[in-house]
Amino acid sequence: MNAKEFLEKAQLNQRIPTSTLIVSTKKDVEKLALSYAKGILCEKKHPWGCKECYSCKIFYEKHPDFMWIGKENSIKINDIREISNFANLKPNYSPHKVCLITNAQNMLKEASNALLKTLEEPPSYLKFIITADSLSNIIPTIVSRSIVLEIFERKTSEHPLCEKLISKRFYETIPQVDNIKDIKEKEELLDCLIEKLEQHMLKIGFNEDIDKAIKSLNTTKRALSRGIKLGLWLIAILSPIIDEQF
């Protein structure tokens, strides 16, 4: 899925997630995160900012509704404590305030735990944008409280069972999944399912159940080497959304 399109739709619909975690090794991820923050704070509610309102004009100066930490090599607990002070003050120019945390993979454990406390009960106006080069150093509870967008080069995946598994033919197709023996083919099937669900959410807007399914499918990919029964995993992950969404 094109992450920029997803973020743009969130801004257009004014359905901004409390926390958006963007995972990418690309150098321009910071630029994307800054543009997203600018759009959230735009007084005219233009995605990526209008360049005309006062909020947009001062965004790259010292905007009172914007906070950015993570420019240094590590993120310490004192940095996170500053977020609490920032969060306690209501917005000045926008319905929202934005805290951007870049290079979150460098967050120390104490800082991660402190951030989690803020994420658990943030003020309704406070939005987090977090960037990291991988999920491996981000504590799972932060990941679970965020909308995760992974940006990397990935070829469009196709598999003959993919369309059937996200349709009314789901249950009759499941037995065919366990006939797949090659791990690479299983990965291709999972990639295809993830892409289809991302595309569907792009059309309808953010959906918590679909987002949960996408995260679970990514976890399933990492578990394939353990010889799991993929069909059983797909039943557990996809059955809650098939009847409602497809």
Mean pLDDT per 10-residue section of the chain, whose length is 246 residues? 80 90 86 95 92 93 93 84 91 94 90 90 94 84 88 70 92 94 93 86 75 89 91 94 79
Helix ranges (H only) for the chain are: 3-12, 29-41, 54-57, 77-88, 109-120, 140-144, 162-165, 170-177, 183-204, 208-223, 230-245
Q: Environment class of residue 80 by beta-carbon count within 10 Å: exposed (0-12), middle (13-18) or buried (19+)? A: buried
pTM reported for the whole predicted model: 0.66
At residue 20, the 3 state secondary structure works out as strand
According to the model, what pLDDT value does residue 171 have? Answer: 93
According to the model, what pLDDT value does residue 153 have? Answer: 55
Give the tokens for residue 7.
């973020």
According to the model, what pLDDT value does residue 25 have? Answer: 79
